[in-house]
Amino acid sequence: MLLALEQELLLRKEEFKNEKIETIYFGGGTPSVLEISEIEQLLASIKNNYKVIASPEITLEANPDDLSSLKIKALGDSSINRLSIGIQSFFDQDLKLMNRAHDAHEAHTSITEAKKYFNNITIDLIYGIPGMTNARWEDNIAKALAYELPHISSYALTVEPKTALKSFIEKGVIPDVNDDITQQQFELLLDQLEAKGYINYEISNFGKKGYFSNNNTAYWQGKKYMGIGPSAHSYDGVRRAWNINNNSKYIRSIQQNILPYEEEKLTKKDRYNEYIMTSLRTIWGISVDRVRTEFGNSYSDYLLQRSDKYITEDLLAMKGNTILVTKKGKFLCDGIASDLFMIKLN
């Protein structure tokens, strides 16, 4: 697999010959199972074949149960300069319900150890978990804040089909997700993190000044990115591509110097809708001028017309030529964005 990843980097180097690599992200599974030498081997392949800025943001995702003290120290001595730890909850009952491999003690230990070697750490928390009271959610937030981390991501629980959680809900073993409680917990999250100086720069992401995720910000601002490995996605501004999701087929194809991917060319309507969805979720909002320049007057007129009722309801706000979601509208952001989508024009 490592050789295949390196070969894909080599096969695709022309795609980014005019680009500077600003961020490198090891994610999409459990990259922390890699040895440090293997991580450095992949980073060397990137630096040997691409133009990389002097100090790129290099993030590695890890689960608490993979982060022994020795592993964290080794990562701290490596080129990795940002650690993303999948905490999800500081309570065992929540972790068991979500079928997580770690427990609350491992969650605590992984953060405590990571702080010895990393300044730039982010954790993720899940709200809206069936049976989780607002009081326990506030305890979760308080525990997270006590570590004084520079970044926290938090997401509403999504019940995926064909999972044990979905089955338990359907059988009545545990209650279903309650949208009202989920919204209450999102609002508690907003209030408490903003009170501690975190900036909600994207609906699910909170960072102290200077600690926004450069990698994720690039996605939301529509920058080009390249995904390497099985199931990885790429985007060049007009085309979206995704690699095959089968490991053995991926390796065999790469060994034959064939890139195993599918792609789609985005229409103007697709690109407009994507810009609306990603931009509205951020503090930078939707630029009406950009919509007019890139997509034409029909699109900007449509956007303004569709936005009007939400501005009246204080769910959106107009600041200059920028449309922003208000605090009141944040929990409803994705639904509002979908109502601003262009359906007919191409």
- What ranges make up the beta strands (E) of the chain? 20-26, 51-62, 82-88, 121-127, 151-156, 199-202, 205-207, 233-235, 239-243, 261-265, 286-287, 316-319, 322-325
DSSP class per residue in 57-97: EEEEEE-GGG--HHHHHHHHTSS--EEEEEEE-SSHHHHHH
> What is the rounded CA–CA span in Å between residue 174 and residue 130?
7
> What is the rounded CA–CA span in Å between residue 144 and residue 192?
11
Average pLDDT over residues 331-336: 95
- Which residues in the chain are classed under CATH 1.10.10? 268-340
- The helix/strand/coil state of 280 is helix
CB 299 within 8 A of CB 291: yes
CB 333 within 8 A of CB 325: yes
- Name the pLDDT band for 172 (thresholds 50, 70, 90): confident
Residue 345 has pLDDT above 80, yes or no: no
CATH topology of domain 20-216: Transcription Regulator spoIIAA (3.30.750)
Q: Which of 94-103, 156-165, 243-252 has the highest mean pLDDT?
A: 243-252
Q: In what order do the strands lie in the sheet with 316-319?
A: 286-287, 322-325, 316-319
Residue 256 has pLDDT above 90, yes or no: yes
**268-340 belongs to CATH 1.25.40:** no
Residue 332 burial (CB count, 10 A): 15
> What is the rounded CA–CA span in Å between residue 220 and residue 279?
6
Picking from 24, 7, 17, the residue whose alpha carbon sits closest to that of residue 236 is 17
- Which residues in the chain are classed under CATH 3.30.750.200? 20-216
DSSP state at residue 139? H
pLDDT at 161: 77
pLDDT at 168: 67
> What is the rounded CA–CA span in Å between residue 186 and residue 195?
14
